[in-house]
């Protein structure tokens, strides 16, 4: 439908605008890389993928056709960003990082000892409630805003800066998962629920992929786009309240929700009850503190930062990072899900890996974490641990320094867990 396409294009344009700010960071990373005006642009495969008006920032959904690369040094090959002449490209095509056909399943990675890429960039920089004015009356704290509905529950900001980061992170996730939005073996889903939808970007992409499926995205914060596919709706709802949906779902998806719930088993139980028999629940999340295979993360500020966030969130009664995500399989089994599977991916903290695909993920993740860092820390450390803003600033600065240090071979575990609600009678045969 033309109107859908217009809407989609508008969203893509908006996203491209939002991501434009990251170009400076990317330009820093590329160092001396020369860009040629008017040369080839990234090619978008997925309808949801962002477009970029100069070709400097990659289209995270698909990216890097061979002719988008320019290469003159080993560093610049690794950068894999920018433009190229067609002649160069035809020679260099085999060097392209194929982001569509790889995924980032956890593996022991070899560090890139020869990499002189500095990775600089310090300044990268249920009771359904109807929309009312009060939910826009955001809490303001230390220059950031936080959701107003159920004030104080969720500890990351809801301002434009965080929304930009969530959209960037969505594209990083699409690269990580070889462009997949989910891993559960869905067959013609008719009703899908996206819990904690954030900017709604996953829900919109999913609705595009399944135009026959009614997709509902819920969140504590309003602010999702209004130009959306006809099969999407967003509602303001606290997923910790009693769910009052009038029909059951074929698929329930919750992404990056660790730290949000005080009672994960109860959340999973409600998901179970609101699924059709044979329906799937999928949890896509992150692990924290960071890990490494060679212990280079031990004693670092980036490791301490993760420990502090976990400690603070536990103190607020909402387990975060690995405190939650390592329990997903067990909690799902306890509630009665079957066919539970876990896929473990990884996000390097920067460009330390030798592997070109993982290096690319690290490059994006460094931007992602650096952009989010202040927001991740402020409310948690001031509210839960009684820190002063100045103390948080120091931790953020030290952690940012570690994020640039390629001698620290750290990564975030990125688990995806999915399971099926059994059909009546099926459980007895297990
Ligand atoms: C880290 S963001 C993830 C957003 C989105 N799922 C994504 O992957 O881009 C977590 C989101 O969950 C929302 N949230 C937190 N607690 C919630 C709750 N109890 N009920 C509904 N949404 C919640 C937050 O407002 C925020 O938008």
Instruction: Quote the pLDDT of residue 113.
Output: 81
More confident residue, 137 or 419: 419
Q: Domain 133-429 sits in which CATH superfamily?
A: Vaccinia Virus protein VP39 (3.40.50.150)
Alpha-carbon span 218 to 230, nearest angstrom: 16
Place of tokens 């990251």: 22
Kindly state the percentage of the chain with pLDDT values over 90. Answer: 60
In this prediction, residue 425 has a pLDDT band, given cuts at 50, 70 and 90, of: confident
- Bridge partners (DSSP) listed for residue 262: none
Helix (H) / strand (E) containing 276 = strand 275-284
Structural domain spans, the chain: 2-95, 133-429
Instruction: Quote the pLDDT of residue 120.
Output: 41
More confident residue, 219 or 33: 219
Place of tokens 């989609």: 8
> DSSP letter at 383?
I
> DSSP letter at 384?
I
Q: What confidence tens digit (pLDDT) does each residue in 143-196 have?
A: 888 877 887 788 888 889 899 999 999 999 999 999 999 999 999 999 999 999
Query: Who lines ligand 1 at CB under 6 A?
Result: 147, 153-154, 156, 158, 166, 170, 196-198, 202, 218-221, 238-240, 255-257, 260
Asked whether the predicted pLDDT for residue 123 surpasses 80, the reply is no
Phi, psi of 328 (to 5 degrees): -55, -50
Asked whether the predicted pLDDT for residue 22 surpasses 60, the reply is no
Q: From the CA of 39, how far away is ligand 1's center (Å)?
A: 39
Instruction: Quote the pLDDT of residue 117.
Output: 52
In this prediction, residue 124 has a pLDDT band, given cuts at 50, 70 and 90, of: very low
Pair 21, 164: CB distance under 8 Å: yes
Instruction: Quote the pLDDT of residue 6.
Output: 59
Identify the residue whose C-alpha is closest to ligand 1 atom 23: 196
Asked whether the predicted pLDDT for residue 121 surpasses 80, the reply is no
Q: What confidence tens digit (pLDDT) does each residue in 407-420 have?
A: 999 999 999 999 99
In this prediction, residue 26 has a pLDDT band, given cuts at 50, 70 and 90, of: very low
Asked whether the predicted pLDDT for residue 205 surpasses 70, the reply is yes
Locate 333 and state its tokens. Answer: 């089994």
Q: From the CA of 24, how far away is ligand 1's center (Å)?
A: 28
- Bridge partners (DSSP) listed for residue 280: 251, 420
**CB neighbour list of residue 384: distance below 8 Å, 6 or more residues apart:** 312, 313, 315, 316
Pair 79, 33: CB distance under 8 Å: yes
Locate 420 and state its tokens. Answer: 């099926």
- Written in H, E and C, the secondary structure of 64-110 is CCHHHCCCCCHHHHHHCCCCCCHHHHHHHHHHCCCCCCCCCECCCCC
Locate the ligand 1 atom nearest the alpha carbon of residue 147 and give its number: 25
More confident residue, 19 or 81: 19
More confident residue, 218 or 34: 218
What is the pLDDT averaged over residues 324-352?
A: 98
More confident residue, 282 or 37: 282
Instruction: Quote the pLDDT of residue 106.
Output: 84
More confident residue, 86 or 64: 86
Asked whether the predicted pLDDT for residue 48 surpasses 90, the reply is no
Q: From the CA of 291, how far away is ligand 1's center (Å)?
A: 25
Q: How buried is 365 (Cβ within 10 angstroms: 0-12 exposed, 13-18 middle, 19+ buried)?
A: buried
Give the residue among 284, 207, 274 at the shortest CA–CA distance from 239: 274
Phi, psi of 281 (to 5 degrees): -110, 130
Instruction: Quote the pLDDT of residue 354.
Output: 96
Q: From the CA of 392, how far away is ligand 1's center (Å)?
A: 23
Asked whether the predicted pLDDT for residue 133 surpasses 70, the reply is no
Angle at 278 between CA 277 and CA 284, to 5 degrees: 115
- The residue whose CB lies within 8 Å of the most ligand 1 atoms, and thus the one to mutate among 18, 260, 319, 373, is 260
Asked whether the predicted pLDDT for residue 199 surpasses 60, the reply is yes
Asked whether the predicted pLDDT for residue 89 surpasses 90, the reply is no
Q: How buried is 160 (Cβ within 10 angstroms: 0-12 exposed, 13-18 middle, 19+ buried)?
A: exposed
Torsion over CA: 31, 33, 37, 39 (sign): negative
Helix (H) / strand (E) containing 234 = strand 232-236
> DSSP letter at 42?
P
In this prediction, residue 365 has a pLDDT band, given cuts at 50, 70 and 90, of: very high
Q: What confidence tens digit (pLDDT) does each residue in 244-292 have?
A: 999 999 999 999 999 999 999 999 999 999 999 999 999 999 999 999 9
Helix (H) / strand (E) containing 329 = helix 328-335
Q: From the CA of 203, how far away is ligand 1's center (Å)?
A: 12
Asked whether the predicted pLDDT for residue 395 surpasses 80, the reply is yes
């Amino acid at each position: 439908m033309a109107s859908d396409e217009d809407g989609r294009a508008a969203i893509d344009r908006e996203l491209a605008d939002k991501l434009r700010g990251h170009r400076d960071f990317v330009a820093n990373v590329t160092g001396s890389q020369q860009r040629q005006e008017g040369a080839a642009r990234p090619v978008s495969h997925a309808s949801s993928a962002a477009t970029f008006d100069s070709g400097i920032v990659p289209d995270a959904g698909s990216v890097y056709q061979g002719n988008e690369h320019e290469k003159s040094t080993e560093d610049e090959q690794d950068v894999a960003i920018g433009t190229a002449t067609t002649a160069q490209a035809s020679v260099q095509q085999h060097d392209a990082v194929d982001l569509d056909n790889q995924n980032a399943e956890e593996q022991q990675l070899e560090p890139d000892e020869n990499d002189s890429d500095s990775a600089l960039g310090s300044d990268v920089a249920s009771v359904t409630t109807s929309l009312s004015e009060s939910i826009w009356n955001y809490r303001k704290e230390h220059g950031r805003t936080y959701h107003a509905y159920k004030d104080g529950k969720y500890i990351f900001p809801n301002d434009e800066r965080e929304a930009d980061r969530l959209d960037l992170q969505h594209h990083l996730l699409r690269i990580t998962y070889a462009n997949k939005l989910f891993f559960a073996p869905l067959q013609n889903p008719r009703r899908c629920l996206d819990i904690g939808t954030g900017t709604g970007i996953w829900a919109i992409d999913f609705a595009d992929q399944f135009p026959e499926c009614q997709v509902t995205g819920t969140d504590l914060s309003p602010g999702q786009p209004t130009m959306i596919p006809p099969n999407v709706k967003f509602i303001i709802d606290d997923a910790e309240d009693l769910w009052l949906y009038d029909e059951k779902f074929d698929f329930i998806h919750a992404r990056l929700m660790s730290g949000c719930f005080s009672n994960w088993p109860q959340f999973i139980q409600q998901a179970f009850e609101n699924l059709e028999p044979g329906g799937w629940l999928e949890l896509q999340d992150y692990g924290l503190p960071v890990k490494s295979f060679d212990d280079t993360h031990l004693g670092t500020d980036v490791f301490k930062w993760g420990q502090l966030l976990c400690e603070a969130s536990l103190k607020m009664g909402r387990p975060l990072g690995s405190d939650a995500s390592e329990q997903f399989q067990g909690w799902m089994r306890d509630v009665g899900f079957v066919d539970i599977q876990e896929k473990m991916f990884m996000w390097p903290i920067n460009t330390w890996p030798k592997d070109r695909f993982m290096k690319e993920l690290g490059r994006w993740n460094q931007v992602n974490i650096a952009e989010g860092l202040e927001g991740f820390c402020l409310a948690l450390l001031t509210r839960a641990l009684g820190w002063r803003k100045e103390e948080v600033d120091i931790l953020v600065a030290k952690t940012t320094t570690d994020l640039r240090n390629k001698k620290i071979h750290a990564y975030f575990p990125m688990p995806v867990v999915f399971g099926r609600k059994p059909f009546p009678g099926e459980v007895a045969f297990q």
